[in-house]
Structure formats: C-alpha cells, structure tokens
Structure 1
Amino acid sequence: MKIIIDERAQKWFEEEIGIPEGSGVRFLGKVYGSSPLHEGFSLGIIVDKPNDPLAITTLNNIPYFIEKNDDWFFSGHDLEVIMDDKLNEPDYLYHKREQ
C-alpha cells in the first residue's frame, strides 16, 4: 500500500494541525459518514505515533501512516491526498492497487 501526499496538502497538515515533534498524521477508518469505499464509514485523521504501520510516508520529518488494523478500510487501495482548491482543505483519493 502507498500513501501519496502532494506538497500543498503536506503544508496544510503542518500549518493547520500543529503536529508535535515525534508525532505524525494517522489515516484511519471511522464510523459515520461515507466514503467511496464504504457506506457508513469515512476517513479520519488524528495526530499519533506509528505503532504497527501498514504504510508510511515521511515528509519533512513527519510520518503520514496507516496502521495495520485499519487495512479493512482501505480495501486494497492506495491513498492519495491532494488539496481541494474550493474548500481549501485536503481531498482524499483512493486508487485500486495493482495485483
């Protein structure tokens, strides 16, 4: 699994979330909402430290990661994070992984 974060989205996380040194951004599935992958579940983000990562991308010394126990949510997809210019916040795209 891959996590791709574009430069503008990465800058947004740094400026808007205020990630303490030694921590990172964890992507996870949460109950409520919806996503292109699951009705009734949406993508959540929290500031956390990697424990048992399924995927990790480090940018500017900040790990962006998904834990193994959240693999169910991503269902064989890579995650790409880009900026939504209209909303001025990250947008999350799911790309089916090649087998």
Structure 2
Amino acid sequence: MKIVIDPQAAKWMESALKVREGDGVRFKVRYGGQSTIQPGFSLGLSAERPANVAASELRNGRLYFVRDEDAWYFDGRDLYIDYLNDEDGVDYRIE
C-alpha cells in the first residue's frame, strides 16, 4: 500500500487541521459514511503523532500516514488524495 498526495491537497489539509511541520496527519477508519470498498465505513482525518505506521508519505515536513490497525480498510490498495478546486476540499481515491 502507498499514499499519494496532490500538493494542493496537502496544503489544504495542513491549513484545515492546523498541522505544523513535524506533526502528522492520520487517515483513519470510521464507522458509517460511504465507501467504494468497505460498506458501512469511511475515511476520516486527524492531526496526531505517527505510531504503528503501515503506510506513509512525507510532504512539506509532515507525515501523512495510516496506522497498522486501519490497513485492513484498504485491502492492499493504494490511497490517492486529490484536491477539489470547485469545492475547496479533498477527495480520496482507493485503487
């Protein structure tokens, strides 16, 4: 599994979560919501220190990561985070 983040998406997440250089952004599994690969679950974001990292990407001095306990959600697929200019937000693609 790998994480691929669009540069504009990274800037958006840094601003929205107020993540400083040296901090981490976790992609975590939540119960509820919509998913194309795991019905009844969805992805959430939180600013927190990296621990038990299964996959990560370093961008702008911040580590974007998925913990071991959430790796099942991706079922071996890669996570792509794109910036949505029209909505001023991000979108997740799992391929």
In which range does the TM-score fall when normalised by the shorter chain? over 0.9
Letter in 2 for 1:80: Y
- TM-score normalised to structure 2 length: 0.93
Identify the residue that residue 19 of structure 1 maps to in structure 2: 19
Q: Which segments of 5 or more consecutive residues in structure 2 lack a partner in the other structure?
A: none
Q: How many residues align?
A: 95
Percent identical among aligned pairs is 37
Match of 1:72, SS state, is helix
Please, what is the CA RMSD of the aligned residues? Answer: 1.1
Identify the residue that residue 34 of structure 1 maps to in structure 2: 34
**Which is worse superposed, 79-88 or 55-64?**
79-88
Using the alignment, how far apart are the partners of 2:35 and 2:85 within structure 1? 20
Using the alignment, how far apart are the partners of 1:24 and 1:50 within structure 2? 6
Identify the residue that residue 43 of structure 2 maps to in structure 1: 43
Using the alignment, how far apart are the partners of 1:11 and 1:21 within structure 2? 12
Is it true that 1:62 corresponds to 2:53 in the alignment?
A: no
The answer to which structure has the higher strand fraction is: 1
Identify the residue that residue 53 of structure 2 maps to in structure 1: 53
Using the alignment, how far apart are the partners of 1:86 and 1:20 within structure 2? 26
Using the alignment, how far apart are the partners of 1:27 and 1:8 within structure 2? 17
Using the alignment, how far apart are the partners of 1:88 and 1:21 within structure 2? 22
Using the alignment, how far apart are the partners of 2:60 and 2:7 within structure 1? 10
Match of 1:87, SS state, is coil
**Which is worse superposed, 35-44 or 19-28?**
19-28
- TM-score normalised to structure 1 length: 0.89
Using the alignment, how far apart are the partners of 1:84 and 1:21 within structure 2? 23
Using the alignment, how far apart are the partners of 2:14 and 2:88 within structure 1? 14
Change (3 A) 1:61 1:21: closer
Q: Deviations over 1:18-57 (max 9, x none)?
A: 0144321000111011111111100011111111100111
